Structure 1
Amino acid sequence: MTLDFYTFAKNIVKGVLTPSFRVKALGKEHIPKEGGVLICANHIDNLDPPVVGMTSPRDIHFMAKEELFHAPVLKGILPRVNAFPVKRGNSDRESLRKGLKLLKEGKAIGLFPEGTRSKTGELGEGLAGAGFFALRSDAVIIPCAIIGPYKFLRPLKVVYGPPINFTEYREQKISADEATKIIMEHIGKLISEHK
């Protein structure tokens, strides 16, 4: 059986990053084996997407800023590791539609609700996109905490929390901003519990 590119890339990343940062993943059992899943993590480093990708038992489709799809090496790799572009700074309807379609097809999407890396390492405010996906799909919402720092041979933790029950929030028709706030609170709780 031949390895697909995603699995091949995941194995290489795992082989390099696990020993370098002594990566430890907790709570992987919270990620359902099938069906639409939205994994929402804090964002502290450029290595966050590969670290979440390599520790998740599911293949993840990441939203990545559009500029990366024009970078010389990345433009050939990103589509092959399931990433899809998002225009930052405004509501990108095309990427929102693409994300919803993937969730409805039972795929797993990885998002960093803050939209950009935290300069301080502290949890920032989340953008409405995460809440939009959580409310407009039937996906299981998994909060994820990346607890660094990314320093050579210093332990790095990736903690997947229990699913957030969004049934009630969907019925209440809360706003996307409110939904994102709830997700960020769960991420914050994981960070403070596992620091």
Structure 2
Amino acid sequence: MILSFYMFARAIVKGILTPVYRYEVIGAENIPSEGGVLLCSNHIDNLDPPTVGVTCPRPISFMAKAELFKAPFLKTVLPKLETFPVKRGMADREALRQGLKILKEGKVLGLFPEGTRSKDGKLGKGMAGVGFFALRSKAAVVPCAVIGPYKRFARLKVVYGPPIQMDELRERKASADEVTEAIMKSIGKLIEKYQ
């Protein structure tokens, strides 16, 4: 039921956004067709979640700031899209549990590691929680770069990179901060290559 609503909503959003923004999707084949995927993207605009959502070949469960769930409309719709809240600025254990559950169920968890939109469009520092998910799951970690600008009829690129090699980092029990840094570097390389 939730999946059918997701696909319905996805089709509507795609129908609205596609005539306005000329999406160029690169590397969609890098998203594994099955199994847990931790999808990590830069964050340049409020439209990033729907943009990534309509260009990714698989449904995505996004982690979103808890404030969004206070709006009456979003409070009803977001859970139906398998989006769940995270309290920013603190260790939100419930959000961490929910994220790991999604990955263990073989689904796609979408995160914006910077935690907030970049005001200047440049890639910021990632938060350690991203590294936590990468280390505590066996999910494929896929970097994504949204390359704007979001201007009417301008070309907008959504680039999915190949999964990051996590074996060595997991085996030597690297810190969450170190893993997050490796993920951010991968996103940065995609931006540099395709900008």
TM-score (norm 2): 0.97
Are the equivalent residues in 2 in contact too, given 1:61–1:81 (CA < 8 A)?
yes
Partner of 2:128: 128
Partner of 2:72: 72
Which 5+ residue runs of structure 2 have no aligned equivalent? none
Partner of 1:86: 86
Cα deviations by residue, 1:46-99 (Å, 9 ceiling, x for unpaired): 000000011011110000011111112111110011100100001101100110
What is the DSSP-based 3-state SS (H/G/I as helix, E as strand, rest coil) of the residue aligned with 1:4?
Answer: helix
Partner of 1:63: 63
AA at the equivalent of 1:83: T
Are the equivalent residues in 2 in contact too, given 1:17–1:23 (CA < 8 A)?
no
State how far apart, in whole Å, the 2-side matches of 1:39 and 1:19 are.
25
What is the DSSP-based 3-state SS (H/G/I as helix, E as strand, rest coil) of the residue aligned with 1:125?
Answer: coil
AA at the equivalent of 1:72: P
Partner of 2:137: 137
AA at the equivalent of 2:74: L
State how far apart, in whole Å, the 2-side matches of 1:158 and 1:18 are.
13
AA at the equivalent of 1:86: V
State how far apart, in whole Å, the 2-side matches of 1:75 and 1:97 are.
20
- TM-superposed deviation, 1:162: 0.4
**How large is the RMSD of aligned CA atoms in angstroms?**
0.8
Are the equivalent residues in 2 in contact too, given 1:130–1:180 (CA < 8 A)?
yes
What is the DSSP-based 3-state SS (H/G/I as helix, E as strand, rest coil) of the residue aligned with 1:20?
Answer: coil
What is the DSSP-based 3-state SS (H/G/I as helix, E as strand, rest coil) of the residue aligned with 1:159?
Answer: strand
Partner of 1:156: 156
Which 5+ residue runs of structure 1 have no aligned equivalent? none
What is the DSSP-based 3-state SS (H/G/I as helix, E as strand, rest coil) of the residue aligned with 2:184?
Answer: helix
Structure 2 residue 28 is matched with structure 1 residue 28: yes
State how far apart, in whole Å, the 2-side matches of 1:120 and 1:177 are.
23
- TM-superposed deviation, 1:189: 0.1
Structure 2 residue 179 is matched with structure 1 residue 179: yes
State how far apart, in whole Å, the 1-side matches of 2:143 and 2:10 are.
21
What is the number of equivalent residue pairs in this alignment?
Answer: 193
- Which aligned segments of 4 or more residues in structure 1 are displaced greater than 2 angstroms? none
Percent pairwise identity:
66
What is the DSSP-based 3-state SS (H/G/I as helix, E as strand, rest coil) of the residue aligned with 1:68?
Answer: helix
Structure 2 residue 54 is matched with structure 1 residue 54: yes
What is the DSSP-based 3-state SS (H/G/I as helix, E as strand, rest coil) of the residue aligned with 1:110?
Answer: strand
Task: Between 111-120 and 69-78, report the one with greater CA deviation.
Answer: 69-78
For 1:8-47, what aligned pairs fall within 5 Å after superposition? 8-47=8-47
State how far apart, in whole Å, the 1-side matches of 2:161 and 2:18 are.
21
Partner of 2:100: 100
State how far apart, in whole Å, the 2-side matches of 1:18 and 1:162 are.
25
AA at the equivalent of 1:39: L
What is the DSSP-based 3-state SS (H/G/I as helix, E as strand, rest coil) of the residue aligned with 1:14?
Answer: helix
- TM-superposed deviation, 1:16: 1.2
